[in-house]
Amino acid sequence: MIRNFTSDQIQLNSMEFRIIIGQSASILTAGINKNTPWRPDKYLEFIELRANADYLWLKMEVDVTDLKNDELTPRLEYTTPTMKFTD
């Protein structure tokens, strides 16, 4: 199967990733500020957002690797803990 994607899709996924991380951080911050246990629905929402963010991150890793872009690949290698860091 040939993957069909563009760097534009990677940028859109990156923006969606940032939005999702922001939403999960807002839930976490609100929970810390209230200093009370989370309701089950908020906990589930937080976990779902984090899982979605993880999925998008892994998808971006694969897409950048498949794209073989000389500018994006070193950035991915620098920011991804599962990949080798470069100088």
Query: Does the pLDDT of residue 6 top 50, yes or no?
Result: yes
What residue segments make up the domains of the chain, in order of their start? 9-79
Segment 55-75 shows an average pLDDT of 76
pLDDT of residue 53: 94
- Would you state the pLDDT for residue 86? 47
Cβ atoms within 10 A of the Cβ of 32, count?
9
Give the length of the chain.
87
CA dihedral sign, ordered 62, 66, 72, 78: positive
Q: What's the pTM value of the predicted model, to 2 decimals?
A: 0.68
DSSP string, 22-84: HHHHHHHHHHHHHTSPPPHHHHHHHHHHHHHHHHHHHHHHHHHHHHT-TTHHHHHHHH-TTS-
Rounded-to-integer distance, Cα 63 and Cα 81, Å: 17
